[in-house]
Amino acid sequence: MSKVPKEKRDKIILVGIVTVAVSAALWLLLINSQRHTLRNVRAEAVKSRDQSSRGYATLKTREDVKQQFEEATRRLQTRETAMAAPNDMYSWLIQTLNNFRSNYRVDIPQFGREVPAEVGIFAKFPYRAALFNVRGTANYHDFGRFLADFENAFPYIRVQNIELKPASESQGDGREKLNFSLELLTLVRPIAP
């Protein structure tokens, strides 16, 4: 074995120690900081991709939301055309009730004039309301079917203050007639600007 002189061995050990120290310094100062920067850049890239995908999703749903809004606007306009007109509410009520009751054995001879009423649901609600008093006669079951179907067919008309009294006349089939009185509170479509 060849013996390395002590001075040369000390120099080799010193070079090794210096090399390890320089390598550690390079690792800590350069490489570690670069890894930290790279980690931050990756996190930012992921964050940007997420933000971008949310943006694309918003752009995709924008058309759906726009379509839903247009559909809701069309449905509202359809319902508004069936609402009472602000200039002739009385004839609208008579026509609406007569057309609807043609399928039922309900007699409605008395229609009261409209009384303006407050809606009071929301602030800045664009609709007004009108209250009508209606009186008539019908069999109990016929009136019940008429009333249920009427409320389902006209969701913007509220039936309230129903009074039922037996009528003085009865039919020959054993079914008793009754007199009814009720109030119809209806929304009136807004006047177009």
User: Do 115 and 153 touch, CB atoms closer than 8 A?
Assistant: no
pLDDT for position 1: 43
pLDDT for position 20: 87
- Type and span of the H or E element at 149: helix 140-153
Per-residue pLDDT tens over the stretch 1-23 = 467 788 888 888 888 898 988 88
Q: Does domain 89-188 have CATH number 3.30.70.20?
A: no
Of residues 29 and 124, the one with the higher pLDDT is 29
Per-residue pLDDT tens over the stretch 43-84 = 999 999 999 888 888 888 888 888 899 999 898 888 877 777
Q: How far is CA 62 from CA 53, 58, 72, in A?
A: 14, 6, 15
pLDDT for position 61: 84
CA gap 98, 89 in Å, rounded: 14
Give the start-to-end residue ranges of the domains of the chain.
1-82, 89-188
Please choose, from the candidates 127, 146, 140, the residue with its C-alpha nearest in 3D space to the C-alpha of residue 188.
127
CA gap 146, 166 in Å, rounded: 18
> How large is the average pLDDT for residues 103-110?
84
